[in-house]
Amino acid sequence: MLLTLITFRIAYIHLAFHKKAVDLAQAQHSVRIELEPTRGSILDRNMRKLALNLKVDSVYAVARDVKKKKEAARLLAPILFKDESFLYERLSRDKLFVWLARKISPEKAAKVKALNLAGIHLIDETKRFYPAAGLASQVIGFAGIDNTGLEGIESYYDRYMHGKAGYKTIGRDAKGREIHAFEGAYIPPVNGYNIVLTLDEVIQHIAEKALRRAYDKHKAKAGVALVMDPYTGDILALAVLPSFDLNHFNCATDDAKRNRALSDYYEPGSIFKIITASACLDTDKVSIEDSFFCENGAWYVAGHTLHDHRGHGDMTFKEVIEKSSNIGTVKAAMRLGEKDLYEYIKAYGFGVTTGIGLPGEIKGIVRPLNQWSKYSITAIPIGQEVGVTPIQLIASLSAIANGGQLMKPRIVDSIIDSKGEIIKKYEPVIVRRVTSEQTSRQIREIMKGVIEQGTGTRARLDRFAAGGKTGTAQKVGPSGRYSHRDYIASFVGFAPMERPVVAVCVMVDTPRKGYFGGTVSGPVFKEICDATLRYLDVEQEAAVYEA
């Protein structure tokens, strides 16, 4: 009877309990350790590394092997900067593998190794490192402790950079001690791909330095500076302030992490007049020499009084834009008509996202035509009642600079493997033709006049002729009324004049000690263009400015 019972018990264990028993035995005699893949790097257009992984040590314990747990916790606590009770709790777990600290410095690793504590081991992992610290911080973003992207490029292209984890199996004897001769399973990790950006690290430094100077000088709340190749849509620099150190992103505020070039919209103010002007000229509703009476600075229209910063009488349409007359611009827009104005605003890409390939982009505000009030035709042409993002502005400016074609902004050039082989290529994309080349040329001439004798003289370059437009927009306060203290000071422009190499957009939010776009942001444009064109070794034009 006893033999029969034992036989049935053996049969039960073999048939019904087999898998569980095998799994239990494997768990007792082997430990599976995940092998982290190396995350792909982020490179600028010249293959300079902006984000990479470095090998570091992590500390784990085979808890059953640690005999004097309290003493081990006491010795490790000051080295790992961990609470002694936390370490003791972990060491007291009935497990073969317990993390104590992840991705520690080489100095800490050396001290842990020197203790030579039974059951305490080091294992290789990788840690994300950003050589340029805070450079392009909102663009690059950051990855967490597990090398998963959390913001910016790190997040948006995480599926390409993350790679695939591997593992290895460590054998243990009946007492849980490692068997060094044991050859367990080993599956190597598959490393991630590298992301090549359109950013140029040097131009990014130039833009951030110039923006920082104005940001500090005018005690501003925030600032944005964008540099774009108008013919390809390549973003050469995207600077946002305030910024943060990517190597210490846990210390950064949410405000500093926000990419204002994509996620914030503003009323553009007078910058928007170049959109209105191009629509007027492209439809032949207005010619560049048409004369407009600017009412000596005050005009009662649509139930309110429209003002100019400075009173003007009769001016040509060219002078209206150069001198940034609100009255002259609105009169031209009324000749154009609401429908045509709305269609050109949409054609320039306002009211929709650009699809640049970064998280957090918003579409701004462009109300449909049936929601315009009788006042709208006096506000929208001069940059009120619309909300635009800096990335939309730089794209529309580039369409004027390149001859009338709207280009899709491009922040990633390609995805490559560790050998440099291209996995995916992002080619320049023409969204649509917005205006004729003739209209584009006329607007560029007007913008040249803005810098030569208009509101943007402080943006005048040292070696090149350039075109630009100033913008000074009142911010809307909590009451819904325009503030008389808080402004957005902006400047957009391109250089050189004949064949633009760069288009630049500068926006400074709530500056103090001066608030006009030409005064605050114009010098930033000049500094960026002068340094960038010198860096790119662009040949100086024979005649810079007209006598």
* Domain boundaries defined on the chain: 201-535
Q: How far from 520 is each of 163, 213, 223, 382, 424, CA to CA, in Å?
A: 45, 10, 11, 20, 41
pLDDT at 545: 46
Active site residue 270: yes
DSSP run (H or E) holding 413 = strand 412-416
User: Can you read off the two tokens belonging to residue 542?
Assistant: 């024979």
Asked whether the beta carbons of 184 and 168 are under 8 A apart, the reply is yes
Residues 6+ apart with CB under 8 A from 466: 448, 451, 459, 460, 493, 494, 495, 496, 497, 529
pLDDT at 373: 93
Catalytic residue among 270, 324, 325, 490: 270
Is the peptide bond prior to 106 cis by the omega test (within 30 degrees of 0)?
A: no
Which residue is listed with tokens 């490029």?
A: 153
Q: How far from 479 is each of 397, 476, 482, 486, 510, CA to CA, in Å?
A: 32, 8, 8, 13, 17
Sign of CA dihedral 86, 88, 94, 98: positive
Q: Which residues of 504-532 are buried (b: 16+ CB within 10 A; e: fewer)?
A: bbbbbbbbeeebbbbbbbbbbbbbbbbbb
Look at the chain and count its residues.
547
DSSP summary character for residue 532: H
What is the torsion angle, in degrees rounded to the nearest 10, for the CA atoms of residue 316, residue 322, residue 324 and residue 328? 10
pLDDT at 480: 77
Which residue is listed with tokens 């984890």?
A: 165
Strand, helix or coil at 292? Answer: strand
DSSP run (H or E) holding 491 = strand 482-495
Partners of residue 171 on adjacent β-strands: 30
DSSP summary character for residue 308: -
Residue 459's nearest CA partner among 523, 527, 530, 545 is: 523
d(Cα 391, Cα 234) in Å, to the nearest integer? 12
For 17, phi then psi, to 5°, come to -110, 5
d(Cα 136, Cα 151) in Å, to the nearest integer? 12
User: Can you read off the two tokens belonging to residue 169?
Assistant: 């199996």
The fold of 201-535 is Beta-lactamase (3.40.710)
Quick one: 181 exposed, middle or buried, by C-beta within 10 A (0-12, 13-18, 19+)? exposed
Pairing of strands 42-43, 194-197: parallel
Residues 6+ apart with CB under 8 A from 486: 474, 475, 477, 510
Quick one: 10 exposed, middle or buried, by C-beta within 10 A (0-12, 13-18, 19+)? exposed
Chain-centre distance for alpha carbon 233: 15
The pTM of this model reads: 0.85
d(Cα 407, Cα 433) in Å, to the nearest integer? 9
DSSP run (H or E) holding 98 = strand 98-104
Q: What is the 3-state secondary structure (H, E, C) of 333-352?
A: HHHHCHHHHHHHHHHCCCCC
Q: Kindly calculate the radius of gyration of the chain based on its CA atoms and give it in whole angstroms.
A: 31
Extract the residue ranges of the chain whose pLDDT is less than 70.
Answer: 23-31, 171-184, 541-547
Chain-centre distance for alpha carbon 359: 8
Asked whether the beta carbons of 191 and 163 are under 8 A apart, the reply is yes
Chain-centre distance for alpha carbon 305: 40
End-to-end CA distance of the chain: 119
